[in-house]
């Protein structure tokens, strides 16, 4: 057996134990969940024998923290020896200097998680490490498979001991199964990927090197960076912000249906899918990815500003001030201001030191309106006609509370503009959305939503406008959450779990 050294505690840190128990018991109500699609995951990989790869992975994950806040993990390879640490919590809570010093090696893979398949439990934290004929592999996954049921059955029939409830572990064991037939890392991995359906951007560590992989549609992002070193060393990350923090230069994206193999010899590319068709998740551009990350040779901040300009032209309204819901609505609000001539200002202040809380407020606090994350600037709002810009509405619960807060602060009129179309369908590719009946736009018209939110007017960006402002081929994006047109077929068993209603036409 190849040795593995884990420095993961067997117990939850004291400060996280209550959160973990709550997550395991799944008692958090819809009312207290954020009114947004929950993030995907963040993955990071590096091959740099001369560097402190654990510390560089830590900082890479720190930059990708917005993609998942439930657990974090790093696996390093020191020859054939694997050092692993993963636990529940934020990257800065899971790791410290002492722990990072116990993770030596030439290469590393890391993960920060929001659960999509598999609940929020320590056993489901990644990287997933499994043993193969060629040694251990450590896998970090962003995305979601849609054929988990048959794949799990295949693996169980082969007597693999699945210890988690994640599809990520299944991908790792599928690779092990193929490698154990006598194939090498590349051949075995490619054969395993062809058994996987859905969304997967992967970073995989082995004693021989690091792989970066995207599914044939490239639904979730994955980029390659280079370190200024001799020889050149390579880094993989979900977004370019994960490269910037360690001084790596963006080289290019991993292409849909591509496997890159990073070893001492450098970077090699293998196009393993015969018919790749790019379908990047449009919500990555609208909301998930950090505004300073690059996509299509520009920051997403620029794209989001264009969305604001577009909706200002599509749905104009007279007002005294326009502002965004911090932080994700701000670029679009600035764009709206630029196109409309209405002054941009700040109407809400965000407490940036608030994470998820598992302490429930008292009934009195609820009645008064607990303002943990956003607080209004009453003197800015009083007597004003205001336009508030946000990137999306999912259930509408937070938006309604926000509108009520603005009115209580003296706003004379409240107009809401959303820089994406109505979300009418759930995601099956790595975003945690509610079942369809919980999506407000799936059951109500825009006029009905406006009435429920108690706004003076409500307008969404058009689907065509959202795609045209990418300035890319509009067919190269997945926008199924707005249309119900899923690029990868969803098995009926999976579809029934979320897709409750007939196809919605808005």
Quickly count: other Cβ atoms within 10 Å of residue 96's Cβ: 10
pLDDT at 159: 86
> In this structure, are 188 and 95 located in the same domain?
yes
> In this structure, are 55 and 163 located in the same domain?
yes
123 vs 419 pLDDT, higher one: 419
Its domain, for residue 51, covers 42-279
pLDDT at 501: 55
**504 confidence band (pLDDT: 50, 70, 90):** very low
Phi then psi for 298, rounded to 5 degrees? -150, 160
* CA-based nearest residue to 211, from 260, 257, 266, 178: 260
> In this structure, are 423 and 384 located in the same domain?
yes
How would you label 8-29 residue by residue, b for 16+ Cβ within 10 Å and e otherwise?
eeeebeeebeebbebbeeeeee
Residues flagged as binding site for Mg(2+): 328, 390-391
Residue 465 lies inside a defined structural domain of this protein? yes
pLDDT at 244: 98
Residue 228 carries which DSSP code? S
Domain count, the chain: 2
> In this structure, are 241 and 112 located in the same domain?
yes
- 377's tokens: 């600037």
- 399's tokens: 């938006």
> In this structure, are 90 and 182 located in the same domain?
yes
48 vs 31 pLDDT, higher one: 48
Residue 292 lies inside a defined structural domain of this protein? no
Q: What is the CATH number of the domain that holds 260?
A: 3.60.20.10
Residues annotated catalytic, as ranges: 41
Least confident range of 33-47, 276-290, 347-361: 347-361
pLDDT at 18: 30
Whether residue 323 has pLDDT greater than 80: yes
pLDDT single digits (tens) 178-209:
999 999 999 999 999 999 999 999 999 999 99
Residues flagged as binding site: 281, 328, 390-391, 427, 478, 481
Kind plus residue range of the DSSP H or E element containing 271: strand 266-271
> In this structure, are 181 and 66 located in the same domain?
yes
> In this structure, are 271 and 303 located in the same domain?
no
Residue 163 lies inside a defined structural domain of this protein? yes
**506 confidence band (pLDDT: 50, 70, 90):** very low
Domain termination residue (choose one: 215, 245, 279): 279
Number of H helices, E strands in the chain: 19, 24
Average pLDDT over residues 406-430: 95
CA distances for 115 relative to 35, 72, 147, angstroms:
16, 11, 17
Average pLDDT over residues 116-120: 51
> In this structure, are 264 and 399 located in the same domain?
no
Quickly count: other Cβ atoms within 10 Å of residue 236's Cβ: 30
> In this structure, are 126 and 214 located in the same domain?
yes
Whether residue 166 has pLDDT greater than 90: no
pLDDT at 368: 55
d(C-alpha 47, C-alpha 77), whole Å:
10
Average pLDDT over residues 398-419: 96
Residues flagged as binding site for [4Fe-4S] cluster: 281, 427, 478, 481
d(C-alpha 458, C-alpha 379), whole Å:
24
Quickly count: other Cβ atoms within 10 Å of residue 413's Cβ: 17
Residue 254 lies inside a defined structural domain of this protein? yes
Q: What is the CATH number of the domain that holds 412?
A: 3.40.50.2020
> In this structure, are 208 and 308 located in the same domain?
no
pLDDT at 379: 96
> In this structure, are 178 and 322 located in the same domain?
no
Average pLDDT over residues 341-353: 92
d(C-alpha 347, C-alpha 402), whole Å:
11
Question: Which residues touch 226 (CB under 8 Å, ≥6 apart)?
Answer: 232, 233, 234, 235, 248, 249, 251
> In this structure, are 215 and 325 located in the same domain?
no
Average pLDDT over residues 465-494: 95
């Amino acid at each position: 057996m190849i040795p593995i050294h884990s420095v993961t505690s067997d117990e939850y840190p004291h400060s996280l134990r209550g959160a973990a128990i709550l997550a395991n018991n799944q008692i958090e109500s819809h009312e207290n969940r954020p009114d947004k699609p929950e993030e995907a995951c963040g993955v990071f990989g590096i091959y740099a024998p001369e560097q402190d790869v654990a510390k560089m992975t830590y900082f890479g994950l720190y930059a990708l923290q917005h993609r998942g806040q439930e657990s974090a993990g790093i696996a390093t390879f020191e020859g054939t020896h694997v050092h692993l640490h993963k636990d529940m919590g934020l990257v800065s809570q899971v790791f410290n200097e002492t722990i990072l010093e116990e993770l030596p090696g030439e290469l590393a893979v890391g993960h920060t998680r929001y659960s999509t398949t598999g609940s929020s439990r320590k056993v489901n934290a990644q990287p997933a490490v499994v043993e193969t004929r060629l040694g251990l592999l450590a896998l970090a996954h962003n995305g979601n498979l849609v054929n988990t049921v048959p794949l799990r059955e295949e693996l169980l029939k082969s007597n693999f001991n699945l210890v988690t409830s994640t599809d990520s572990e299944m991908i790792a064991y599928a690779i092990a199964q193929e490698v154990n037939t006598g194939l090498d890392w590349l051949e075995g991995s490619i054969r395993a990927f062809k058994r996987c359906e859905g969304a997967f951007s992967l970073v995989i560590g082995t004693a021989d090197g690091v792989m970066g992989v995207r599914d044939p549609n490239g639904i979730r992002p994955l980029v390659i960076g280079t370190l200024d070193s001799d020889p050149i060393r390579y880094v993989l990350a979900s977004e370019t912000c994960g490269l910037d923090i360690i001084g790596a230069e963006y080289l290019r994206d991993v292409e849909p249906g591509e496997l890159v193999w990073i070893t001492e010899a450098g970077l090699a590319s293998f196009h393993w899918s015969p018919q790749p068709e790019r379908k990047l998740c449009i919500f990555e551009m609208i909301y998930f990815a950090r505004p300073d990350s690059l996509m299509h040779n520009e920051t997403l901040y620029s794209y989001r500003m264009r969305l604001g300009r577009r909706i200002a032209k599509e749905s104009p309204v007279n007002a005294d001030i326009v502002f965004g819901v911090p932080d994700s609505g701000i670029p679009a609000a600035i764009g709206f201001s630029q196109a409309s001539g209405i002054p941009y200002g700040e109407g809400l202040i965000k407490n940036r030191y608030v994470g998820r809380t598992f302490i429930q407020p008292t009934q009195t606090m609820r009645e008064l309106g607990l303002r943990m994350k956003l607080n209004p600037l009453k003197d800015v709002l009083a007597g004003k006609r205001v336009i508030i810009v946000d990137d999306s509405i999912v259930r509408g619960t937070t938006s309604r509370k926000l509108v009520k807060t603005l009115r209580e602060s003296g706003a004379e009129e409240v107009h809401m503009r959303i820089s994406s179309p109505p979300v009418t369908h759930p995601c099956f590719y790595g975003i945690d959305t509610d079942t369809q009946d919980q999506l407000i736009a799936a059951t109500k018209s825009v006029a009905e939503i406006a009435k429920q939110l108690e706004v003076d007017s409500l307008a969404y960006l058009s689907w065509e406008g959202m795609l045209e402002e990418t300035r890319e081929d509009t067919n190269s994006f997945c926008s199924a959450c707005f249309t119900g047109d899923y690029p990868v077929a969803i098995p009926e068993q999976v579809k029934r779990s979320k897709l409750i209603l007939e196809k919605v036409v808005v």
